[in-house]
Amino acid sequence: MPDRETIRRWSEGDGALAAAILSARELGYLDRAEAAVEAAKSAENAAAGRLAFDAEKWFLGKLSRAFADRGDKATGAGDAAAVPHAHRIDLSDAPMDVLRYLAEQSLGDDDQR
């Protein structure tokens, strides 16, 4: 498996690859969201379930526009369309155990086999 930096370089030079990676990530984020909802529903401790759900929702909101907080609809605050922007997260200095954890979290059950 190529390392993260190699894939980043490839995607910068290939728009179709970049789009495919983005699409795959969004599907992974949807899987994480569905798992968070199910975990919250089945939590034995309601407060712990809510805390875990809110943490996952916050994290997904940082990774994907689909889960970003839209702000106050009445005033337009938080409207992502008003100010176009992009986020890049540089994980090149992240410890390997953090990268492994993030990779495991982004895989669905079928992908972990």
Is 19 contained in some domain? yes
- CA 18, CA 15: separation in Å to the nearest integer? 5
- Tell me what percent of the residues of the chain surpass a pLDDT of 70: 78
Is 2 contained in some domain? no
Is 3 contained in some domain? no
Is 86 contained in some domain? yes
Is 7 contained in some domain? no
pLDDT per residue as tens digits for the range 52-84: 999 999 999 999 888 887 764 444 455 545 556
Give the number of domains in the chain. Answer: 1
Cα 26 vs. chain centroid, distance in angstroms? 7
Two tokens at 92? Answer: 């090149």
Query: What 8-state DSSP symbol labels residue 61?
Result: H
Query: What 8-state DSSP symbol labels residue 65?
Result: G
Q: Is the pTM of this model over 0.75?
A: no
Cα 90 vs. chain centroid, distance in angstroms? 14
Print the domain residue range for 32: 12-69+78-106
- CA 59, CA 70: separation in Å to the nearest integer? 15
